[in-house]
Amino acid sequence: MTPSRSACGAPPQGGAASGPAEPDPPQPLDCATPRDGSLPAADALLLAQVTTGDAAQQRRAIAKTITLLESTRADHRLRADALLNALLPHTGRSFRLGISGVPGVGKSTFIEALGLHLIAQGHRVAVLAVDPSSSVSGGSILGDKTRMEQLSVNESAYIRPSPSSGTLGGVAERTREAMLVCEAAGYDVVIVETVGVGQSETAVAGMTDMFVLMQLPNAGDDLQAIKKGVMEIADLVVINKADLDEAAATRARAQISSAQRLFHGHGMAHPAPGAPEETPGRPKFPPPPWGAAGAQSRPGGTIEQWQPTVIQLSALKAQGVDTFWQTVQRFQTLRAAAGQIAARRQRQDESWMWERLDAGLKARFRAHPGVREQLAPLTAAVRAGEVAASVAARRLLDLLDTH
Ligand code: GDP
């Protein structure tokens, strides 16, 4: 299969890491085609197997592609970039669902129940994880136990644990790319799971169409304990373990609902993370094959907006999973009809690019020989109050203009 799009400026094979590099010639604006016009044969085969291979071939090809994407070797990265760009036209047709919650809230139990429910309806489900704790503690919260036993052996499911090292930005980057690979392989529901630590919720909300926060039945008793920022980005809150104490779950639901009304204001849809404003545009992606009905017009002709919602369920007993999915479909229908899913993805792609640019520029800055020489003495001078911070920053930045 010939890739329909390919990488920007990929050098001929073997040219990646050899010798002192000559500065890259300026790339033409339309840099979607590599210089040699195609992927290396092995990667063209991977592309074909990911997109059209039989189940076993596809599974192996996805794993190989993701491994290539996760490699830190410069020559691998160039191949991975070319492959990723070639996969791009095959992506975008899934529904991307983010799920977060503290360890023990029941995420894996719920994802297993939901995944099996969706597969029974004919969907293919990929489950990815963002677990930056592994880079801090050396152990992974989302990887230390056997999780999702039935789903992991199901032919229609693909489960990938969190990339095991790197900063949150790096882990999120790898997960975004893995998501694209899964989409190209035809998984039409991609679930990205994360633990409620650090900033990982924001990262996951920033790569998914809908962000779900899982809570325990006693959550309403201590609303202070729920990070306000996380509540603000949740499109849907799920109170799990309702079977343990139905009354507590109902109370939590009421309390969280009223807190959400305060956070979001009356009748206002909240913007997606990293997105100051909603600008409905023409959808870039065709809506997924489910729930793609037209806008829900209210009497008077206004279009109904999604309001953040709270539901309660029992993942263990698989009770309420169907209601959960109906709620998700309703979200998808309302948002897709208003062009908001496509708009959110466009903003996410743009902020992903900027996030990577920021990280890349900082890395290059730190690696610059002049900066390496001057950074420590200038930092010391700033700390000693001898040089103003802004002056030091300018001096360091000016060093980039010297070779
Ligand atoms: P995770 O750390 O968020 O992935 O949580 P797990 O899915 O591993 O669940 C933690 C524990 O809670 C396990 O012992 C589950 O069996 C249990 N659990 C999960 N969901 C429910 C539920 O709905 N009701 C009850 N009673 N227990 C549950």
Q: For ligand 1, is residue 196 a contact (CB within 6 Å)?
A: no
Q: In 235-368, which residue ranges form alpha helices assigned H by DSSP?
A: 246-264, 321-337, 340-367
Residue ranges in the chain whose pLDDT is less than 50: 1-37, 135-139, 144-145, 266-295
Quick one: 55 and 107 in the same domain?
no
CA distance from start to end of the chain:
44
Note whether residue 220 is domain-resident.
yes
> 10 Å Cβ neighbour count for 401?
7
Pocket probe for ligand 1: among 197, 316, 317, the residue whose CB has the most ligand atoms within 8 Å is 316
Per residue, what are the HEC states of 145-192?
CCCCHHHHCCCCEEEECCCCCCCHHHHHHHHHHHHHHHHHCCCCEEEE
Q: Are the beta carbons of 210 and 288 closer than 8 angstroms?
A: no
Note whether residue 366 is domain-resident.
no
What pLDDT does residue 21 have?
Answer: 39
Note whether residue 391 is domain-resident.
no
What pLDDT does residue 220 have?
Answer: 60
What CATH number is associated with residue 97? 3.40.50.300
Place of tokens 């959808």: 283
What pLDDT does residue 145 have?
Answer: 45
Task: Report the separation in Å between the CA atom of 34 and the middle of ligand 1, taken as the mean of its atom positions.
Answer: 48
Quick one: 2 and 151 in the same domain?
no
Identify the residue whose C-alpha is closest to ligand 1 atom 15: 106
Note whether residue 385 is domain-resident.
no
Q: For ligand 1, is residue 106 a contact (CB within 6 Å)?
A: yes
Quick one: 152 and 295 in the same domain?
yes
Quick one: 309 and 256 in the same domain?
yes
Q: For ligand 1, is residue 355 a contact (CB within 6 Å)?
A: no
Quick one: 44 and 54 in the same domain?
yes
Note whether residue 238 is domain-resident.
yes
Q: Which of 338, 355, 387 is the last residue of a domain?
A: 338
Quick one: 100 and 84 in the same domain?
no
Identify the residue whose C-alpha is closest to ligand 1 atom 16: 316
Quick one: 96 and 71 in the same domain?
no
- Kindly give the pairing relationship between strand 95-101 and strand 189-195: parallel
Note whether residue 261 is domain-resident.
yes
Q: In 283-320, which residue ranges form alpha helices assigned H by DSSP?
A: none
Domain count of the chain?
2
Q: Which of 304, 321, 338 is the last residue of a domain?
A: 338
What pLDDT does residue 1 have?
Answer: 37
Quick one: 80 and 101 in the same domain?
no
Quick one: 287 and 153 in the same domain?
yes
Whole-angstrom Cα distance, residue 280 to residue 220? Answer: 34
Q: Which of 55, 70, 90 is the last residue of a domain?
A: 90
Note whether residue 333 is domain-resident.
yes
Quick one: 81 and 116 in the same domain?
no
Q: For ligand 1, is residue 310 a contact (CB within 6 Å)?
A: no
Q: For ligand 1, is residue 108 a contact (CB within 6 Å)?
A: yes
Task: Report the separation in Å between the CA atom of 316 and the middle of ligand 1, taken as the mean of its atom positions.
Answer: 7
Residues spanned by the domain of 62: 1-14+28-90
Pocket probe for ligand 1: among 107, 108, 109, 239, the residue whose CB has the most ligand atoms within 8 Å is 109
Quick one: 211 and 327 in the same domain?
yes
How many CA atoms within 13 Å lie on the side-chain side of 364? 11
Note whether residue 209 is domain-resident.
yes
Task: Report the separation in Å between the CA atom of 240 and the middle of ligand 1, taken as the mean of its atom positions.
Answer: 8
Quick one: 86 and 101 in the same domain?
no
Whole-angstrom Cα distance, residue 231 to residue 128? Answer: 22
Q: For ligand 1, is residue 104 a contact (CB within 6 Å)?
A: yes
What pLDDT does residue 259 have?
Answer: 78
